[in-house]
Structure 1
Amino acid sequence: MSQAIYLDCHAGIAGDMILAGLIDLGANPNYITEALSQLPLDTFDLSFNHVNKKGIHAQHLTINIEESHHHRTAQHIFSMIENSTLPQRVKSRSTAIFNVIAEAEAKIHGMNIADVHFHEVGAMDSIIDIIGSCLALEDLNIEHIYCSAIPTGHCKVNIAHGLYPVPAPATAEILKGIPLASLDVASEMTTPTGAGFAKSLATQFGPLPACTMTEIGYGAGTKDFDFPNVLRIIQFEENQNTQDYVQVLETQLDDMPAEMLGHFIEDALSQGALDVYYTPITMKKSRPAVQLSVICPLSKASFFENYILRHTSSLGVRSYSVRRTILDRDFTTIDTDYGKVTIKLGILADKVIKAKPEFSDLQAIADRTQLPLQQIYQHVMSQIEHLK
């Protein structure tokens, strides 16, 4: 069974709360500190200690950093992560979080993502929060992340560009498409780092899914209120397969050229859609047409609704949530007479029930050897039966 966590954001979410909560859950702080120390960062020290937040025994993170005058752009951070020796999943998750925050900053300031200078996320403590949290997920072998609705609080905060209302501009941009919770507190309860973590990595937002809890960790915030200012992180084992919710967007088109329809599929997939397809239909006046269907994460529903309206001839979009059940997936590589081939595995109840070769690998072999693709496919399929 795969491991999953649920982020209970009843008091908001911030980067230090996430990392502290994962340490409280059981992640090894020495592993995290050692991995972070391999990066080209300023000298730092992490300390974790327990505090009491209105009766809740929670882990609190303190980061001590030597004063630095480094200016970090998004591109600098992406390159640092890519060129590091971090585990691949840590690289992917960290990059995804920074990319979401960079996109928000770029939109707000009207500039390219690569040129964004992070005011908060580029600071050392936020880099440590994000990469450290992804290292903690790796140490705990967390496959999937679920998240509650997120409260923002209300007040005004000083940011690099002046006094702004909560949620701050970057936080508000990131939280588009994510369900928000009401919390009448005159304070900033969710930061760009916390919002970026949830937006990038959570596959489902809403109540705690049906599960059997195995561990619970508490990450303390820095402020004190008349309620426990903690992020509760619940760890649980997922059942034989994974269930979550996705958004289905539909519209009917009878006035778009085929070339533009094909371009839209490629474009939407590159923007993060889970699937895009057309279904032939007949519309009014017996016109041949297609129904466009886009499946996307719940958090990107608003983005793709607007994307369809901007990039197709549609005047309206239908949108609804559906539950899906998916097999756990893994990859392995096998040696064949034609070279190495990546195999995708579908797993149910810890047993491989499906195995299929990556088609791009087969195409590359066919191009290199000039052999029929069907011959290569049949040969590889005969070699992977033992994986089931």
Structure 2
Amino acid sequence: MMSRTLYVDCISGMSGDMLLAALIDAGADLQYVKRELEKLPVDEFDLWVDTVDKRGITAKKLGIRLPEVGGRQGHGHSHSHEDGHSHEHGNGHLGHAHGHSDDQGGHRKAAMILEMIRESELPERVIARSTAIFEAIAVAEGKIHGIDPADVHFHEVGAMDSILDTIGICLAMESLQVERVFSSAVPTGYGKVKMAHGLYPIPAPATAELLKGIPLAKSPAEGELTTPTGAGVLKALATRFGPLENFTVEAIGYGAGTKDFAHPNVVRVLLGQAVESTARETIHVLEAQVDDCSAETCGYVMERLFEVGALDVYFTSVQMKKNRPGTLVSVLCAPADVVRMEELLLRETTTFGVRQSVWTRRALEREFEEVETAYGPVRLKIGRLDGQVVQATPEYEDVARLAHMKDVPFREVYRAAVYENKKRSLSTESR
């Protein structure tokens, strides 16, 4: 089965403005993007692309003019890609988690921006994708600063840049009729970057948080190559990471950053048809039996295994030699994680050895969508088989958080999410 797919090739990392420029270069309608953005209650702006040369590659460079800062060409996103501003980080983008009011000091709460998006007249899929990106970034920044994601503040200029980039990307995808997003591994850059609170390591804290679970590539240059907005897009929208497979390319676009390196400072997008692969993926199963490991230790080990990337961990009660009751610890992991998992089991449990076997599995293609319930928004994990939805499961964390906030039973929020998803599915089928 074929599916309209966008492949993001992070040759030199990723920022929001670079991706939007690349999508326009690949054929997205810039005028459509601008018309839709102008429907939002945001300050007057101008958006355009210039053609530039990056080490012999012709690419599009996004330009933006925001009247409130006196007119400025190009974004202020990151030291690697842009012109020296750092709205992506503690100097504005989502880093100012201070107590400013929403109409003073040039700050807007993440919750206000999310509400603006949800109440807009943008296409439904654009609203869902934009919301997912902003929520991912707000959660990461909130964790770094130790505050509720809803209370994370956007600096005025950073908020404008982020709104235009993020929603612009989702509109460009809609213009190109993108159904799925895949990505290469992501180079982050290395070194240090100056932010509002001082020198920070690269990747910056929020970027690192967003890239958890995403494969990283060797960085071709010193400096900040991937920004929080870029990482947020991949975290929220990309469903597969790795090299291109079974992909028929229809269009290619290049989006340029500002800085020049020894390599082309561009992000490349390939638009085309991806064949749903029925190939089975390889996983490794690690096993260890213990009869002298406390319940507390087993619980701790399970947490640690998940933290370092285990696909699944489970315990089985077994009867061991000398008629002792024991526990079989089973760990499912990717081939690249085997050594790390084995060492953790050997160090943290009482076992003297770990068995390993290689299995194959066929997994549903997974993506996340959001439904609005009477209690608040809930993400659903959607499982597809040959393009058809066969599973839709509300995310535990979202359900538990709302149940606690609204003081209602967990099962009520869960049922509400399932009901809203069914209602949406029926509405889609009837159109």
Please tell me the TM-score bracket, short chain as reference. 0.5 to 0.7
Q: In structure 1, what is the Cα distance between the partners aligned to 2:175 and 2:235?
A: 21
Residue of structure 2 equivalent to 1:35: 36
Residue of structure 1 equivalent to 2:134: 98
Answering whether residue 113 of structure 2 is matched by residue 77 of structure 1, we say: yes
Residue of structure 2 equivalent to 1:335: none
From 148, 158, 167, the counterpart of 1:112: 148
Q: In structure 1, what is the Cα distance between the partners aligned to 2:276 and 2:266?
A: 31
| 1:185-244 alpha-carbon deviations (Å, 9 max, x no partner) | 232111110011111111122222232222111111111122211101111202256779
The alignment's TM-score, normalised by the length of structure 2, stands at 0.62
Please give the residue correspondences for 1:222-301 in structure 2 after superposition, counting only pairs within 5 Å.
222-240=258-276, 282=318, 284=320, 287=325
Residue of structure 1 equivalent to 2:168: 132
- Amino acid paired to 2:32: Y
Shift of 1:143: 1.5
| 1:51-110 alpha-carbon deviations (Å, 9 max, x no partner) | 111111111110111217631111111111111111221111111111111111111111
SS in 1 for 2:190: coil
SS in 1 for 2:126: helix
Q: Is the 8 A contact 1:102 1:116 kept in 2?
A: yes
- Amino acid paired to 2:30: P
Moved more, 277-286 or 14-23: 277-286
Residue of structure 2 equivalent to 1:50: 51
Shift of 1:155: 3.3
Residue of structure 2 equivalent to 1:376: none
From 171, 174, 177, the counterpart of 2:210: 174
Residue of structure 2 equivalent to 1:5: 6
Q: Is the 8 A contact 1:204 1:244 kept in 2?
A: no
Residue of structure 1 equivalent to 2:68: 67
- Amino acid paired to 2:3: S
Moved more, 44-53 or 200-209: 200-209
The alignment's TM-score, normalised by the length of structure 1, stands at 0.68
Residue of structure 2 equivalent to 1:382: none
Residue of structure 2 equivalent to 1:22: 23
Shift of 1:13: 0.4
Q: In structure 1, what is the Cα distance between the partners aligned to 2:285 and 2:215?
A: 18
Q: Label 1:346 to 1:100 Cα distance change in 2 as closer, same or farther (>3 A).
A: closer
Q: In structure 2, what is the Cα distance between the partners aligned to 1:190 and 1:357?
A: 32
SS in 1 for 2:59: strand
SS in 2 for 1:72: strand
- Amino acid paired to 2:62: L
Shift of 1:325: 5.1
| 1:143-195 alpha-carbon deviations (Å, 9 max, x no partner) | 21111111122233222222323222211221222222222423211111001
Q: Is the 8 A contact 1:241 1:327 kept in 2?
A: no
Please give the residue correspondences for 1:302-341 in structure 2 after superposition, counting only pairs within 5 Å.
324=362, 326=364
Q: In structure 1, what is the Cα distance between the partners aligned to 2:170 and 2:279?
A: 23
| 1:331-379 alpha-carbon deviations (Å, 9 max, x no partner) | xxxxxxxxxxxxx99774x8x7x98999xxxxx9xx9xxxxxxxxxxxx
Q: Is the 8 A contact 2:211 2:231 kept in 1?
A: yes
Q: Is there any run of 5+ residues in structure 2 with no aligned partner, and where?
A: 70-104, 368-381, 394-411, 416-429
Q: Is the 8 A contact 1:203 1:244 kept in 2?
A: no
Q: In structure 2, what is the Cα distance between the partners aligned to 1:357 and 1:12?
A: 32
Residue of structure 2 equivalent to 1:337: none
Q: Is the 8 A contact 1:175 1:199 kept in 2?
A: yes
SS in 2 for 1:32: helix
Moved more, 181-190 or 215-224: 181-190
Q: In structure 1, what is the Cα distance between the partners aligned to 2:173 and 2:263?
A: 27
Q: Is the 8 A contact 1:74 1:102 kept in 2?
A: yes
- Amino acid paired to 2:252: I
| 1:252-271 alpha-carbon deviations (Å, 9 max, x no partner) | 99988xxx9xxx9xxx9xxx
Shift of 1:115: 0.8
- Amino acid paired to 2:125: R
SS in 1 for 2:179: strand
Shift of 1:120: 9.0
Q: In structure 1, what is the Cα distance between the partners aligned to 2:357 and 2:141?
A: 28
Q: Label 1:54 to 1:95 Cα distance change in 2 as closer, same or farther (>3 A).
A: same
Please give the residue correspondences for 1:364-375 in structure 2 after superposition, counting only pairs within 5 Å.
none
Answering whether residue 154 of structure 2 is matched by residue 153 of structure 1, we say: no
Q: Is the 8 A contact 1:5 1:233 kept in 2?
A: yes
Q: In structure 2, what is the Cα distance between the partners aligned to 1:319 and 1:78?
A: 46
Residue of structure 1 equivalent to 2:253: 217
- Amino acid paired to 2:274: E
Q: In structure 2, what is the Cα distance between the partners aligned to 1:168 and 1:59?
A: 26
SS in 2 for 1:227: coil
Shift of 1:42: 1.2
